[in-house]
Structure 1
């Protein structure tokens, strides 16, 4: 033992002499800041340590020369480093990685080269040149950790992870590919991946790849891909380029591929439902408006027509309250607050102002809704004018039915005694030779004739005559009626003029009933006018298969409050009228599938009749 110690001491002395003699030659190497330099004796004691080495271990050279390398080694490296050291003493040049403990107890990883120092052909010491590889080791450990995390994530992810090089060659595919596409990873690695895209998407997929490589930015797109069973699946692909930190070249592209078939199906179903809902709303007989605040976001065709617009843009650029009559603004604001609170409102009558400034009566109902993912108001608007017209028609229909029953009873009960009275009166008149009673007979005859006229009109009302359609020369019929009425008109100083767009016009009608209508209209006009009045009869074309007749007079007109009642049974403005003439005339025209309208003001009255040329 003492002999071995003596030999080591001798070799230590030779080592120190060698260092003292040769160190000045290698001063620049010893002073290197890039590499740590350690000179150790055969017992493992530090003999010389440069500044870089002292910095690595955080010890002074004096502290290190009191220590052996074994004292700085973690336990897990002790055996391997000792083996390298022994082999170097035997003359081997070795390179190895190991870790040391610094003065603060931190790990420092070094790459060490063992160089034996020889004097007189015997190894007297060891020189270590070491580089700090702690950062590299940490990076490598992090990389391994990330790689393991990546492996765990990709292998257990429901999404398919794909790695491809810059040329598009597939490097890796995660196991999820089997669930999404039905292929194993090995099958896909050897497959032309682009060929799996639907033919309509192949060009788009190639374009995304080129865009990611060229712009070095992420790309996202939806595609259809073919499965192993030849069916197609909708996928969403997110592609990210991996860029070299120094050259900025794209090394590879990582794609995350997700099966979105269920989402796409849900989107298509939602889109279909939305389209169905939009069609229902768009073609609803009720006007529908969707608004937020005072802004109109949507209006259907019925609403556009109700407000008198020719295009929806006319509505969208205006404030919703522009269409509310000033008298109803306060009510509208109160009901809007109810809708904002999440409650629906019942139908309520409003007055709205159309785009042309005219007023329309409506009833409005409000419902809270969601539009474009935000709260909004769904307004249902119905015109009450049509409802009121329908109610009036029902009332008039009921009046007509009642009047018909009444008329039938009156005609039956009155006609028989009237016939007897008339017969006896004519007998008394024929036997009387007194001129003094003649004027009374004339009055009685006149009144009996009037009663018979009323009875005839009542019979028409209670049992309309059967129409006998035939070809009627309308222009000739009007000229004949003008001649018939002319004498009566001249007696009142009234001029009848005509304006026909046709020289001849034939239509299918019951001539006698049309004649009754036209005579009734002209007589009414004559009776309503003072002297020196004028009546105009116009015939115009109305579409391809109808004609329009206008009877205009410049009489005193009919007050607005009475005009609405014209046509009601037994309502008349004339002292000796029956209140049945206009009603029967209108009924005759409607039986001809025509339309009958009256307009009147202080400047006169216009009666419009529209008749089809052919009765289908």
Structure 2
């Protein structure tokens, strides 16, 4: 196959010549071959008709048959040899005349009764064949047995011949057969002459056809060459159209010029769109080199095209502890990032943006680079922070009231017991009330500790964390002898879950709070189911489901409020701390519940931390 490609013409001119040669020559060759076959068939039929005609002349000349000739000569009772001789003398002269008139033809009679050749003309050549019996498998015997005429090709008495055999029937009896044959060498000589004439006719037809078609295709090839040169010019300059032509080729040229103009318009439109859109767009090639940056990107980042085009993206937007490029991550891993909000390094500062990245592919589905589209949310983020601080100040009054309530009760009890103990001299009474005072002090201390954690979490230390392993290690803290008879823990952890960038100890605190809440919600016996999965490449999900009492509809809006609790001994800060930690990780917390049946808490954590390595919220 490769060898055929090497010999196949590469240029259009020679390809068309080869195609035309095939188009012209193949039909002519087929016609020539068909004519040859038909001519050979017609020639053989003509020979057969001629030989059968000769055989019928001999049959007519025989008259009433061999016995009539022998009776006329009173030879019926003679010996076989004498009968053959008598019949030969009577018939040989006629067979010689017939053979002489039809040059190259051999004729003769065969007697079934005498089982011998009676005559074989021309006798001067084949007289020695008279009196010979044909072989047992000779087709002449089949003719005498069946009474059917036959044509035979092959080696017979006189050599390679075409032999026709006609049965001699007298008085309803087959008494022998007559043959007339012609050497196939003579037939082949005639066929060769005819084949030679056909071959010459075919060659002349192909030559004439080639001469005519070459003349017709030269103009076509010339036009195609002009189109080829025009396309090469358009490759570098779409504003140089191909010269107009006539006919269908001209229509093709007009369409190409129209398509070039459409490309100019589309390019101008794309450039206008890229220039006018408010979002920044930056593209890189497969090596991470910046290839384009639109006007909005220049304004947002402060860089000019001269400063960035042809330079590596990571050299301009440097990766450090606060920034890891999602664009380069997309280029390496092929993972798209959609709507991620991060701190982004620009010229001499950081800004807060919403960013989306994706792979760039060409028409052959081959990666040619990556693109990042981003929107500056710095001002919006600043306003949100102000609103958030205002909301925190508004909530602070409510929080202080809750704190005062939570602390006033144990302080009132402590004050009462201390005043009472001031007037008591008995050590037994002091020993009785001192543990109560200590218990109330511990209660106040616990409230203050959780309040401090809620108001000002510890500094986060981000690292790559295996969520499944973190769940299993946290579960050890809650599984003990007192819980095993009451709660069954079932794990359905995804095997291919990626690591996430998070603070392991804070996520452990979240899991611990949720597991404790789940166990406390189960009053009798039940189960806690823990699932993990990855809904998309950017996030990992954890769901903790218990078969407890559920959450009443009127309480669902309050479950994240500090100090709200339905438990007699609870502080109401557990879920508030959970939400605080997950929000600091740029994640989400969702709670679903059915009263007296189940409650499911779902955590959605980003795989890559979106706020920087040292964010503190």
- Give the TM interval when normalised to the shorter protein: 0.3 to 0.5
Could you tell me the TM-score, scaled by structure 2's length? 0.33
- What TM-score does the superposition give when structure 1 sets the normalisation length? 0.33
Q: Which is helix-richer, 1 or 2?
A: 2
> Which structure carries more strand by proportion?
1
